[in-house]
A and B are shown apart, each in its own frame.
Chain A
Amino acid sequence: MLTPLAMKHVRLLVLTEDLPRAALTLAETESFHPDTREPGDPRLSGTPGHEYRETFQQARTRLAKIGNLIPLVEEVDLTEIRVVDAAELAQVNDWLGRIWRETSRYEEEYRRLEDEEGFVAEQQAAVANFAELRVDLRLLRSHTRFLEIHVGLVPRENLRQLQGAVGLADHMLFNYTTRGEQAHVVIVGPRGHGETELASVLSSAGFQSLPIPQELDRSPDEIAESLARRRAEIEIERQTLGHRLQEWAASFAERLTEAERTLRLAEPFVTLDPSVRNAGHLACLAGWVPARAVADLRRRLDDSLTQPFQLDSRDPLADERPLVPSVPVRSRLLQPFALLVKQYGIPQYGEVDPVPLFAVTFLLMFGTMFGDVGQGAVIAILAWIFRKPLGRLYLFGVLAGLSSMAFGFLFGSVFGSKELLPALWMSPLKDPILMLQLALGWGILFIVLACLLAIYNRLVVKNLAGALFGHHGLVNLVFYLALIWGAVNLATAGAFGWWPATLGLMALGGLAWYNWRHLDAPVAERVLVVFIETLETVIGYASNTLSFLRVAAFSLNHVALSIAIFTLAGMMGTFGHLVTLILGNIFVIVLEGGIVMIQVMRLQYYEGFSRYFSGNGHEFAPLRLRRAAPGR
């Protein structure tokens, strides 16, 4: 469970014409993670799937754009698997192109209606403005014998520049109101003078003419009504357009689904494209496959490929380890913990998978620090109720709640009360010193375990020097154990002891020597760096161990908070007592629960992961047929 799933590097040689079929087969097995490195043989330099990919991407974009207006199916039936050749893909792409051109007309029509609606809103604003002007607005409506008048809208950012420009064409611009990004303007100038010049400038400035309503001088209410009517008409036009679009879309709905299916079937080859190289009719692709799946892969290729092929597999080379993907944890119970580990990084191939260890230690520490039957049950029930929005994380909440409940039974705590349930062990406040000692012991065990894992992880990748002298390597561990030995001696016998002191100093000397040898700097700088690093080792291990005292501190804190709540509640009447207990428990669950969560994560990430987990790996992402819609 802790060791990674063994992987093999496979190389598949097929005839170029068989590539789409091979891609589909690989996708069906869901065990092939493409290796995008260039093949070693310089003759394999062609990229046979490039044109296919270009066509696919254009078709996929078109389908997505169509999907913005016409709902597409989310799940596609892929029980019947078939090869999509370049000709079929091109045909689908062309058809989608035609459909998109038609759909884009609907889109433009929607935009036109939107613009018109905005324009009518501007007209309504203009009418409200005109109604307050004390001028004969009929004059604005038509061109007079001597004056040319333009009333309209212009983007606000163009206003000042347009003002200067119309001035050069012997016109004047008056900005009578501004709404949002649009300025309402009246432009006036002599008739027959600079008209063409003005028209060109107005067009460049994005000027939109606002028609002055005929009835303006007679009945402003009627105009307002007429504009409101126009807005209602626009809404009806929009609905009609929607119906028309729906009817039109219904006529090719099946073909659209078929296009979606074709693209899903074509996708594996496109995904594979960067990993495929060819030389004439011979194509080569490489990838990583779980060792136990290689035989099945060979059998499936045997069944599906009509032309001869060659499948070679080998163990990953030492220098390839950083490239080998790690297969994630599949256990449903561990999934939420894997998500949290992923926040730190993905285990490198060969490294111990930290998820099971993380899950166990997380639950132990959370339960210890937040042990309460009632509050734990609330967390577990809430996580269960909100399982849909929480997704896979709900199990995390349920398990944390159950752990809290289990420790609640040990501590005899129910919603902070010590009287409702007899403790299976004892309340933390009964013997705080014992609690602190246990926390310290737990910390030592945790750090030793982390160091052992760090040593193992380095040995696995043949990093012997790192395993011995690296951070948290064997020499560090010897020093740490000597330090603990000495500390125990000091606590029990009053003296550090010669043996642990000698062992510790020797280990420190070894580390200093190693650092000195691997430092390329002037002597003074080397002395300084080695001194500081050695000191940091001593201080680091001591402080890291003491850091685990928080496990006991929070369990004591939890009891203390409960006592405070009950003391406050005791000062109240019956109703106040109940309210204080409820609010106090909510406060503890939300605030203390949150803090405990952060503290446990901190211990895991800082005291654990930083010691043994590089997080530099990458996740196994096999080629597969996507059955759900993109982004789902």
Chain B
Amino acid sequence: MSDTSRQAYLHTRVSVMSTRLFNPGEFDALMRLDLAGMAERLGFRALLDEQLSTRGKSRAVEQTLIQTLLTELTILTRPMLAPERALVLAWGRRYALFNLKTLIRGKLHNLTAREIEDQLYELPPRLGLADQALLRTENVLELLRALEDGPHAPIARQAREVYEQRREPFALEAAIDQRYYAGLARHVMRLQDDHVEPLRDLVGALLDRVDLMWLLRFRFTYRLSPSETFFWLVPSFRLMHRERLLELVDLESIERVREALPTALADSLDGADTLIELQRHLGAHFARRARHILRRSRSGVARALAYLMLREMDLMTLFALIQGRLLGLQPDLVVAAVELSEPASNPAGRAAAA
């Protein structure tokens, strides 16, 4: 397949798939439905299965949504060249990292293999970990050592070294996240031609969002020093670049950080007073950027990745909506959860549905 025909195929695929993205009105309509109505509208029979517990229903729905996303990811990567595919797959491996964190937490809390397994995402082989082999390890160090023999070796090595020195889960998870986003940025740098700029824009927007949230949390919630906060951040290609991060981490309050933000980012945070509101505004800001790339970019790969990111946001919103219904939460709480929805990397969060 020539480059032109690959790009044409990919653009067509993305355009067809992007019709699956939800309009805001569709979510409003779904929020007005009861559980049975939702099950009928979305085709989730598991929601009406009387034999399943609330936790079982929630897990079945979450697994279906993730499968949907990863199936679309697989379809979109087919016409891509190896470096492009590697980037998109690297993004998709976040679910493997969620599993890894779940495994680590499980080992730290001495959960049984069955208890941990219940919380793992089922992933296709090329995106997943060797879960069964890892489940049978008997402590965190053994788990990380076992991972060092596979494709996650760089992440595992850094995580192990940090864990051996610090013995604290925070440093371990921060190291995993940092390696993940740094790896994603490296994949973008390896690309050439027309894809570089739009992908730098897209992944840069993602890193802007992640960096600002991490900066505020690490610096002002966890009270880390400016130097340690900076160390855990991943410089972005866009607004939160290295120099800006160096400047921002050295500021002493959230207000000073907000004042020092570039206008484009500061404007999008207008009206947000708490960290939760900031997270919501940042999510919306990123979604706007991703939609812009999906609509306007000439790079099929950038459009495909933008679509997958938006689709993930949609599916997670849908999941938050369904979980709210399953738990019988008040509509205002469901709205808040829907606006903050992100893939659950926290088993405690998922276990809350139980």
Contacts and interface: CB of A to CB of B under 8 A. Distances in A.
Interface of A: 54, 57-58, 61, 97, 100-101, 104, 111, 155, 157-158, 161-162, 164-169, 194, 197-198, 200-201, 203-206
Given A100-B138, A204-B162, A197 B225 contact: yes
Nearest to B157: A155
Given A111-B145, A164-B246, A165-B228, 12 more contacts: A61-B133, A104-B138, A155-B161, A167-B227, A169-B227, A194-B225, A194-B227, A203-B162, A204-B162, A204-B171, A204-B228, A206-B158
Given A168-B230, A168-B249, A104 B142 contact: yes
Contacts of B142: 104
A201 B250 CA distance: 15
Contacts of A161: 230-231, 233, 235
A201 B182 CA distance: 18
A168 B162 contact: no
A61 B242 CA distance: 46
A203 B136 contact: no
Interface string B316-334: 0000000000000000000
Interface string B125-167: 0000000010010100010010000000010011001100110
A203 B224 CA distance: 14
B225 A200 contact: yes
Interface in B176-190: 182
Contacts of A166: 227
Interface string B220-236: 00001111101111010
Given A58-B136, A161-B231, A204-B166, A168 B175 contact: no
Contacts of B165: 203-204, 206
A623 B44 CA distance: 39
A165 B162 CA distance: 16
24 contacts: A54-B113, A54-B114, A61-B133, A61-B136, A100-B138, A101-B138, A155-B161, A158-B231, A164-B242, A164-B246, A165-B228, A166-B227, A167-B227, A168-B250, A169-B225, A194-B225, A194-B227, A201-B228, A201-B231, A204-B165, A204-B171, A204-B228, A204-B232, A206-B161
A206 B162 CA distance: 6
A493 to B, nearest CB: 52
Contact of B182 (A57, A61, A157, A203): A157
Interface in B209-264: 224-228, 230-233, 235, 242, 245-246, 249-250
A204 B230 contact: no
Nearest to B224: A200
A200 B228 contact: yes
Contacts of B228: 165, 197, 200-201, 204
A195 to B, nearest CB: 11
Contacts of B171: 203-204
A165 B230 contact: yes
A162 B174 CA distance: 15
A101 B141 CA distance: 12
Contacts of B226: 168-169, 197
Interface of B: 113-114, 133, 136, 138, 142, 145, 154, 157-158, 161-162, 165-166, 171, 174-175, 182, 224-228, 230-233, 235, 242, 245-246, 249-250
Given A168-B246, A204-B175, A57 B136 contact: yes
Contacts of B133: 61
A168 B154 CA distance: 26
A206 B158 CA distance: 7
Nearest to B230: A165
A512 B246 CA distance: 77
Contacts of A194: 225, 227
B182 A198 contact: no
B196 to A, nearest CB: 20
Nearest to B146: A65
B163 to A, nearest CB: 10
A204 B136 contact: no
B227 A168 contact: yes
Nearest to B183: A157
A169 B227 CA distance: 6
A205 B227 contact: no
B243 to A, nearest CB: 9
A196 to B, nearest CB: 8
Contacts of B175: 204
B136 A164 contact: no
Nearest to B186: A157
Contacts of B249: 168
A57 B175 CA distance: 31
A194 B227 CA distance: 10
Contacts of A168: 225-227, 230, 246, 249-250
A135 B47 CA distance: 73
Nearest to B175: A204
Contacts of A203: 162, 165-166, 171
Contacts of A61: 133, 136
Nearest to A155: B158
Contacts of A158: 158, 231
Q: When A and B form their complex, which 10 residue pairs have the shortest distance between CB atoms, in order from nearest?
A: A168-B227, A165-B231, A61-B136, A206-B161, A197-B225, A165-B227, A169-B227, A168-B226, A203-B165, A201-B227
B40 to A, nearest CB: 26
Given A61-B136, A157-B182, A205 B231 contact: yes
A56 to B, nearest CB: 12
Contacts of B114: 54
Contacts of A97: 138
A204 B154 contact: no
Contacts of B161: 155, 206
B230 A164 contact: yes
A580 B168 CA distance: 74
A457 to B, nearest CB: 34
Contact of B154 (A157, A162, A167, A198): A157
